[in-house]
């Protein structure tokens, strides 16, 4: 539950209609909203003086190779939410912004939807609550205690069952994430070697269009291949498959990807739980589940199912001190099925340890 104390929100957009809609959405809450000049220098200067809890920045104000994201997030230590449309040009710029430090994005084309208005409020409140003090979140001490309760484990090599075809891998990695996920995925996936011997299946809560831009950007940065998943394709090692926005994704018993439009699950499509539950049914491979930053509880049910089906499943969650939003990792921890709680920058090396160094 977010403690809704008075928070400050700065809106930076050239569109008065968008600013007015956002002000109306947050009006019932104790939120002070201010607009800033569109000139970059004046904008930064006013943000410095205002010291808001959150900045909402229109993607249209971000130029190529612009350092405004770094200035707001890194230098001023203020969480940033991007205001964007669903156009191809905007999706690419938005993904670039959220892989460079922005926490989340709001689609201004959806602001008239009552359901989406609730989501906007949740995003602003949760991102505001993620603000760090002296570079560290307030509630890290208890998490450190949680981490010390379970020593790191090593996967046991499975004896493969026959599925009528020889698999080119003996392990699979499944990742679930939401708010703050694009940046977290960049850090984790870019740490993996080109020879990584397992496929990686990923659910990142994002609308249609954004997942393709995210996959393309990560593919340009990482040594492994990263792509938006395609229905019917077979899994390959050293490849990360991101579920397409607005589609659920599962892995079937032939180790092929299936995507489909089903009912939203817990308000999500794609759903981490849906993906994890399908991976739980795979008997021929070692399984490693990762829960990164995200709002809500998606993934907790799937983690429990994976452990019930295979007690040797390794479950790693991102620690609170590095997660933009600790909701999803916390929900996974509460299942009692988590093997390790790890800072974001160390998750890649833990994946390598479990997948590439088993038994050593």
Which tens digits make up the pLDDT trace of 256-305?
999 999 999 999 999 999 999 999 999 999 999 999 999 999 999 999 99
Longest dimension (CA), the chain: 66
Sheet bearing 80-84, strands edge to edge = 31-35, 7-12, 54-58, 80-84, 104-107
- State how far the alpha carbon of 92 is from the alpha carbons of 12, 50, 59, 182, 213, in Å: 19, 30, 10, 12, 5
Output phi, psi for 157, to 5 deg: -70, 130
Q: Whole-angstrom Cα distance, residue 328 to residue 325?
A: 8
pTM, full prediction: 0.88
Name the 3-class secondary structure at 43.
Answer: helix
Nearest to 30 by CA among 171, 110, 107, 128: 128
Domains in the chain (CATH in brackets) are: 7-129 (3.40.50.2300), 142-356 (3.40.50.180)
pLDDT greater than 50 at residue 45: yes
pLDDT at position 142 is: 33
Ramachandran area for residue 339 (φ above 0: left; ψ -120 to 50: alpha; else beta):
alpha
Q: Which residues are catalytic?
A: 178, 205, 298
Question: Is the Cα torsion angle 349, 136, 297, 330 positive or negative in sign?
Answer: positive
Residue 279 is encoded by which pair of tokens? Answer: 């991976």
pLDDT tens column, 130-186: 765 434 443 332 333 333 334 445 555 554 444 556 899 999 999 999 999 999 999
Q: Whole-angstrom Cα distance, residue 3 to residue 10?
A: 20
Residue 241 is encoded by which pair of tokens? Answer: 């498959």
What's the chain's average pLDDT? 88
């Amino acid at each position: 539950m977010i403690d809704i104390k008075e928070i400050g929100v700065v809106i930076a957009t050239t569109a008065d209609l968008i600013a007015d809609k956002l002000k109306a959405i947050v009006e019932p809450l104790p939120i002070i909203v201010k607009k800033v000049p569109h000139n970059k220098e004046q904008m930064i200067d006013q943000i410095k003086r205002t010291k808001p809890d959150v900045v909402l920045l229109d993607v249209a104000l971000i130029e190529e190779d612009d350092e405004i994201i770094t200035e707001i997030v890194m230098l001023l230590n203020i969480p940033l939410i991007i205001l964007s449309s669903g156009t191809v040009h905007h999706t690419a710029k938005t993904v670039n912004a959220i892989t460079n430090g922005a926490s989340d994005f709001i689609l201004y084309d959806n602001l008239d939807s009552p359901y989406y208005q609730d989501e906007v409020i949740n995003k602003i409140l949760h991102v505001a609550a993620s603000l760090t003090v002296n570079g560290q979140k307030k509630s890290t001490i208890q998490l450190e205690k949680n981490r010390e309760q379970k020593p790191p484990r090593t996967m046991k090599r499975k004896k493969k069952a026959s599925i009528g075809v020889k698999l080119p891998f003996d392990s699979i990695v499944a990742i679930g994430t939401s708010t703050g996920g694009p940046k977290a995925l960049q850090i984790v996936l870019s740490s993996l070697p080109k020879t990584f011997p397992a496929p990686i299946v990923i659910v990142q809560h994002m609308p249609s269009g954004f997942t393709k831009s995210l996959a393309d950007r990560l593919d340009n940065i990482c040594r492994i291949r990263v792509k938006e998943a395609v229905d019917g394709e077979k899994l390959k090692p050293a490849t990360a498959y991101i579920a397409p926005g607005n589609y659920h994704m599962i892995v079937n018993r032939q180790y092929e990807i299936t995507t489909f439009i089903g009912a939203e699950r817990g308000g999500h499509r794609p759903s981490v739980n849906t993906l994890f539950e399908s991976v739980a049914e795979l008997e021929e491979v070692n399984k490693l589940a990762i829960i990164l930053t995200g709002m809500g509880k998606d993934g907790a049910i799937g983690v429990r199912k994976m452990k019930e089906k295979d007690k040797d499943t390794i479950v790693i969650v991102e620690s609170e001190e590095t997660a933009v939003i600790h909701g999803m990792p916390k929900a996974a921890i509460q299942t009692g099925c988590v093997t390790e709680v790890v800072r974001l920058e160390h998750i890649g090396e833990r994946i390598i340890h479990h997948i590439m160094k088993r038994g050593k």
